[in-house]
Amino acid sequence: MRMNVSESVAALIRKQRDFQKVLGNLVDHLDAPASPQEDEAPVGAVLNEVVGFGSNPGSLRMLEYIPPRLKPGAPLVVVLHGCGQSAEEFDCGSGWSSLARKFGFALLYPEQNSSNNSHGCFNWFRPSSIARDRGEVGSVQQMMASMVERHDLDAQAIYIMGLSAGGALTAALLAAHPEDFRAGAIVAGLPFGAARDAMNAFSAMSNGVVKTADEWAALVQQAAPENDVWPRISIWHGSDDQVVNIKNADALRVQWLAVHGLSEENAKTEKFGKVTGQVWHDDKGAIKVEFVVLDDLDHGVPILPGQGQEMPFMLASNIHLPQVLVERWGLSSAKQKI
């Protein structure tokens, strides 16, 4: 059975890489000399590793980026990479650190250890990794607390974004520690509770999981039973994703609409840069759930070349998702919008 799990995950990683429409590889991007035009492109910042931030129950690495002259009370954005990625690679491709410098917020990049998962995936499917204050979820929460204290950040202005396995762990953090986040974005991810072991995780990624809205919502509500306020959720998925079935995006939408007590029928259409998505508001008019399917996009983060760098799982598109999230979350203005 162990060999079957390993072979299945290994096949998934190979499949991921086969579907990337990029030229060259990451080494080419990082090592190639820049032309004058490329000098102005985001190349990723030097991320600083932090040790001793807590008991680290999930044995993750902590990397952070603090822009020069960051003001007290700045927001914090947590970014979770996908399988086979490092924090540095993700930052280089996404351009998050360029946005942090421009708009004045801190970045936290938790990174998986190969001793936890040989493929570099966050273990979003293991109950011991995603329970409140335990495992990888507990490690990320300790990292956040450390950054808030050491850099005098605003503990009420923490946002999170994750891709694929990082997206699934994002869903777990939003479920287990909802009080810690103002908003979160799940990109090509899976709903909380979609699997409880590696074999079921692979099946969920490939085929999706069927549950009722109430069943999906109960999984989230049981993760933090004393909580009655839930963060804003943004769900993004490519229509041509060959790695994580788009049924998982539909399940995420169903799950978080039910958690927020919202009806599918009350969706409104809204522009997200150059693409169109759906939004749901609460009875006070605040957006609580956003859902965007990106036409013709495979498995990855949509980026604009020049704002990010095209590489595996960073895919050229007509929008730059990190920039869109910065604007939607109100981080591009002095006054936060949500």
CB of 287 closer than 8 Å to CB of 279: yes
CA dihedral 266, 281, 315, 249 (to 10 degrees): -50
Q: Mind spelling out the 3-state secondary structure of the chain?
A: CHHHHHHHHHHHHHHHHHCCCCCCCHHHHHHCCCCCCHHHCCCCCCCEEECCCCCCCCCCEEEEECCCCCCCCCCEEEEECCCCCCHHHHHHHHCHHHHHHHHCCEEEEEECCCCCCCCCCCCCCCHHHHCCCCHHHHHHHHHHHHHHHHHCCCCCCEEEEEECHHHHHHHHHHHHCHHHCCEEEEECCCCCCCCCCHHHHHHHHHHCCCCCHHHHHHHHHHHCCCCCCCCEEEEEEECCCCCCCCHHHHHHHHHHHHHHCCCHHHCEEEEECCEEEEEEECCCCCEEEEEEEECCCCCCEEECECCECCECCEEECCCCHHHHHHHHCCCCCCCCCC
- Cβ contacts of residue 283 below 8 Å, gap of 6+? none
Please pick, among 94, 164, 234, 317, the residue that the annotation labels catalytic: 164
Main-chain phi, psi angles of 245, to 5 degrees: -55, 135
Please state the φ and ψ torsions of residue 153, each to the nearest 5 degrees.
Answer: -90, 165
Is 164 among the catalytic positions?
yes
* Catalytic machinery residues: 164
